[in-house]
Amino acid sequence: MIPVHTPDRPIRKAVESVIGQNAPGTDVVVVCHNTSPIAIQERLVGLDSERYSLLELQDGIPSPAGPLNLGVESATSDYVTVLGSDDVYEPHVFDFWRKELASSSPELLVGQFKVEGVGRVLAPAPRVGRFRRLDAAKDLLYTRTPQLAVLFHSDLVRHQDYPGFMPAARNGEDIALSAFLWSVSSSTSYSRCSDGFLVGISANDRVTAAPFSVAELLAPVLFTLEQPWIASLERSQRVALALKLTTNHVLSTLRSRERSAAISEDDLPHYRDVLTRLERLSPGYGGRLTRRDNGLVSAILQGHTDRLLEWLEDSRPLARYRPQQLRYVFSPSGVLRRAVRLALVPRLLRPAVPAAAKEHA
């Protein structure tokens, strides 16, 4: 499913990266969001029109959530996944994934996530050698937020607690959805394919390019914490989710605003509210945070704004990497075990097409 909001995006390249593969039964739904489907169709002339369809959504809302939800809900296949209009799937990956799905029928299949000019992003970072029956906490599933290169079964979309993409959100629309999928899935597999999804970073006309207020940045976190399935999470899941939301979606916004000298006293109550709720979700989880992150959380909750700036400027390695409580040094989310996974897991993957086959071709 590919949402697109302007014909200026390389939509043809995105669609072709899917239907150009030898993967019978893999089709594309393109959602034309606040743009003319005629203009989009012109970009796709010459492609196999039986392999893609166009939907139109004219809601006037500058949010990717609307077209994403429409596309997913309109899908008729057993599995669905999302593709950005300036992103592509690498050659032959769908054939590889199709065979993996046929062999074990997982509710979720996690593919490789790569960024243009950067390379592979190992998120999640599963245990070395673990490819099936992944555990949300032990295999760090919550560290992957974008549902790019993640194939999820239609049964999950029909689940009574399925949140979808956060309606009208200009940012973080996928935070609650990703947390739901990792938490609720009864069977999650990690693809053995080293090829996968390539994110384009050259686009300068994104639908959500305008700046955000702190309240808007933190709204998806609050939306996630208000989901009904949160109450049934196991303790390990609560800890893992609290760590991910705090590190990736609360403190990251604080650091970015500090770099732009945009922290305001009016912002702090918003941070305090969401961090208080996270502490209720997982009491004591702060001991697993790094010393710097735990210091930031404590400074906000206790109202020590002077300490807040000190922790933001602290670049000491021990502050940035050592957990607040040393007993968590070897926890799955700790830097040591993650470093081992980052080094070893990629070595166990194999390309969609073996090197010998490529040479023969």
**190-222 pLDDT tens trace:** 999 999 999 886 555 555 446 788 999 999 999
User: Positive or negative CA dihedral for 111, 116, 119, 125?
Assistant: negative
Distance CA 221, CA 166 (A): 10
Distance CA 243, CA 143 (A): 9
**106-130 pLDDT tens trace:** 999 999 999 988 888 989 999 999 9
Mean pLDDT of 284-296: 95
Least confident range from 48-57, 92-101, 113-122, 261-270: namely 261-270
pLDDT at 258: 56
Least confident range from 68-77, 251-260, 352-361: namely 352-361
pTM assigned to the model = 0.92
110 neighbors 100 (Cβ within 8 angstroms): no
Measured between its terminal Cα atoms, the distance across the chain in Å is 30
Distance CA 110, CA 185 (A): 12
> CA-based angle 47:49:51, to the nearest 5?
95
> CA-based angle 189:191:192, to the nearest 5?
130
Cα–Cα distances (Å) from 264 to 207, 219, 268, in that order, read: 26, 17, 7
pLDDT at 356: 46
Helix (H, G, I), strand (E, B) or coil at 254: helix
Distance CA 82, CA 89 (A): 10
> Which residue type sits at 34?
N
Which candidate, 156, 177, 153, 154, places its Cα nearest to that of 68?
A: 177
Residues near 32 by Cβ (< 8 Å), separated by ≥ 6?
A: 4, 40, 54, 55, 56, 57, 67
Residue 359 pLDDT > 50: no
Q: For the purposes of burial, counting CB atoms within 10 Å of the CB of 32, is it exposed (0-12), middle (13-18) or buried (19 or more)?
A: buried
Q: For the purposes of burial, counting CB atoms within 10 Å of the CB of 180, is it exposed (0-12), middle (13-18) or buried (19 or more)?
A: buried
Which candidate, 282, 288, 284, 143, places its Cα nearest to that of 225?
A: 282
